[in-house]
Amino acid sequence: MKKAKLDDNIDEKIEEKLYSDDNIGVTVFKCQNCGGETIFEPNSQKMKCLYCGSMFDINNLSVAKERDLDELLKSGNVWDETEVYQCKTCGAKEILSKQEVSVKCSFCGTNNIIKTDEIPGIKPQGVTPFKLDKIKANEIAIKWARKKLYAPRNFKKSVKAENIYGIYNPVFTFDSQTITWYRGVLGKNYVKYRVVNGKRVAHTETRYFNINGSQDMLFDDLIVQSSTSIPSEIIKSIEPFPTKNAVAYKTEFLRGYSATTYNKSGEECWNECKIAMKERIERAILKRYDYDIKVSLSIDTKYLNEQYKFILVPIYVGHYNYKEKLYNFYVNGYNGRIGGKTPVSKLKVSFTVLLVLLLIAGVIFMLMYF
């Protein structure tokens, strides 16, 4: 391939991009053809040179593996190939590789990015790489915005690629076998009839009964959001992420993207996961019985073979400021599902209310005079 012509200061712009990885040793981020900077390209799942367009495979890929939960709870490792930067405007914290500095905050679009001394924590075991590029994410966001009936017109026009950024969001996934012993009291309603003043009248009686037994369940890759930068309900609304097929972490996947920091410990996330497991276990137990009322249910669960993965999942974040308030929307960088909040136009709402009132008035007029 013909080399691209580079300007005189290219050596100052492009530094030697090296990092060490447990699996493959040393990797060079320079383009092998022109020496330019390479980034991860979602459509091809390869590295692409920003200068000459050359494409390169990411070598030695493997599947991310689970690790024992005890290792997470005792972990003191740090992710030493990255640095944390914080936006002074909205407070969002993002992880960047040591070779790059974001010029804009992914969440609000301002340039107020400062380096912090915060330790970014343990290194991810795996990555679900971006499958959709920024152009496709922008198309999805535009279609979504146009369907928002009460959103201001300016909002719909402002959805554009310049306001959308790709970030990797940190999540923990947990596996566990569980054995649960339970006991409780349930009630079943029955309709009875009796004669009152010569008329047959129905009334409801509840019969209560005791339950007890055991329930075995296997949980695999339950996702727990480990960062508060993106609300948990948003993550759930744009799931799923194929964390079971996540590849082992490589720095290449972050080239051209950033990642948010996690601010909940592994222990906190494991406790959240156990709450989710408990809810599922209780639902499974109650499905075994024909009942109408749950009086009480106590469970005692034993967790076996607990394992975890720390995974980065791909999300495009879009931002919009409306009347001095920030609104974000989020696109799943793997399957294109989108969620988020939009501003509401008071004028459109008022017009709808007025239209409804006129329709009601019209119906009343028709009923009174026709």
**Domain spans, the chain:** 1-60, 176-217+273-306
Greater pLDDT, 326 or 212: 212
Stretch among 259-263, 292-296, 315-319, 320-324 having the lowest mean pLDDT: 320-324
**Lowest-pLDDT range of 75-84, 164-173, 174-183, 329-338:** 75-84
The C-alpha angle with vertex 236 and arms to 92 and 46, in degrees rounded to 5, equals 70
Inform me whether the pLDDT recorded for 266 exceeds 70.
Answer: yes
Could you tell me the pLDDT band of residue 112, with boundaries at 50, 70 and 90?
low
pLDDT for position 133: 92
Q: What is the mean predicted confidence (pLDDT) over 240-262?
A: 88
* The pLDDT value given to residue 321: 73
What is the structure's pLDDT at 119? 61
Residue 110 has pLDDT above 80, yes or no: no
pLDDT confidence of 298, banded at 50, 70, 90?
very high
The predicted model gives 261-287 an average pLDDT of 92
pLDDT of residue 4: 40
Instruction: Summarize the confidence of residues 23-50 as an average pLDDT.
Output: 78
Distance CA 99, CA 78 (A): 18
Whether the pLDDT of residue 100 is over 60: the answer is: no
